[in-house]
Structures are given as structure tokens and as C-alpha cells.
Amino acid sequence: MLNNQDFETLIYIKHDLYAEIRFNRPHRLNAVVEKFYRELLDALDLSESDSDVRVVLLTGEGRAFCVGADMKEHGTGMRTLYQRRQYLQLGNDVCEKILRLKKPVVSAVNGYALGAGAEIAVSCDFVLMDKTAQIGFPEISIGTCVGGGVTRSLPALVGMAKARQLIFTGTRIDGNEAERIGLVTEAVDGVALQQRAQSFVAELASKAPISMALAKKLLNNASNLDIDAQLQLELDAVYTCTTTADWQEGVDAFAEKRSPKFKGI
């Protein structure tokens, strides 16, 4: 393992084939502040630019994944209206960055994922969640509104009726219920969460990086396109894969009855 860069609100650890980004404001249950958003964007940029990193894992230090906005800081009322807009934009930028990252992003949700924390979690390609953890969108209950693309991503995950219920009521659900309705990929016993997350990420990291990047983009954009356009983009993606050394490695490994060793080229 290698620590690539020092952050104040995050811990960034580079493992063999993946980067682990740990939210590091445990004294505030990893509530978000402006510096947190800016550092998270930097950490995501760092992981994307590192060719050795194939997958990104997000999780939280202490008793929570992220409980949303730091209301203590909001309560100081020190921001101008323009600064408030800039802060809110950062929240959207983080979720968009996760969605558009060319590498899979996995969140391991411990404790609480609320508000902005839930928005970050569901922006990820995969969500592993402690069975006893809680996730929810309390924004309307406190006079604000959801962001980070949740009104698009949540209905796609759980259906419109359930998305309305979760957003309008702010109901918190645990990991078991989140898995049942399709909000998260897998609910895991809390003591095994980190171990399961590491094994899950390692499995993803063994796959062909270029193929994963193309598939992620296709899946994220599918709802915006008609079937003719989607079929053409898939055809282009398959052809692109055939131009890579990894495609040849996959063919050779299949013929030789061994596991492929992809290099992302």
C-alpha cells in the first residue's frame, strides 16, 4: 500500500490495483464541508489519472459513511448567496465526477449515509452496505431538495414509486431493505464490510479496464438514447475493444484455459 497524497478531510491509500478514499471527519460523522468536496474532487482526479488504479473504493472513517451537510458550519451563516451557490455546485460536481469517472467506483456504506452522503453513495457504480447501516434522503424534511442527480439515478434503481416515497418522506432504510428494493448491490454483516469491499474491488480490478470504461459509459447513457443509437454505440465499443492488446489477451487466455492478465492497453 502507498499513501499518494496528504489530505485534511480524506485518507487516500493506493493499493495494488485500486485506490481507497476514506472520508476522514469522524468527529462530525464525516459531514461535508467545502474543503471535503474540493479534496474529494482532487482525490478522484488523482485516481483517474493513475494508470495503475483500476477501481476506486469510497468509505468512511468512524461511525458513518457521511451524514450529509455539516449543519454546524451552515448555521454560521457566513456565506454570501454567490458562495452558497458555489458550495452547492461542488456537491453536484462530486456526484457527476463519480458518474463520469472512467473507472468503476464502489462505495462501502457504514453507519449512516444521509443527504449528500446518500447522493454520493448512489452515484457509485456499486454500493456495498452494512446490513444495520441506514441510508436516506432527508432534504425535503429540512426545507431543501435532493441534488447530485438523485432524481434521475434513484428511480432508475428502485422505480419511480419507491423513489418518490424515499425522497418525499425522508424515510431511512437499513442495508437489508436497501438491497431488497435494489438501491444497493449487496448488504453485508458490518464486521465483514471492509473485507467484502476489498474482495469485491479486487475482483473488479482483475477485469479489462478499457472494456469496463466503455460499458460504464454505455450503461450510464442508455436512458438518453433510442435503441438504434444504443446498438451503434455498442458496436463501436466492441470494435474498439478488438483493437486492444487486452482483447487478444482475453482470446489467448480462453484458448489456453487460464485466467487473463489485463494491462489496460
Q: Mind telling me the catalytic residues?
A: 119, 139
Angle at 40 between CA 125 and CA 129, to 5 degrees: 40
Residues in the chain: 265
SS3 136: strand
206 closest CA partner among 149, 150, 262, 122: 262
Distance CA 196, CA 198 (A): 5
Residue 263 amino acid letter: K
Distance CA 14, CA 35 (A): 21
Beta bridge partners, 58, equal 21, 107
Beta bridge partners, 40, equal none
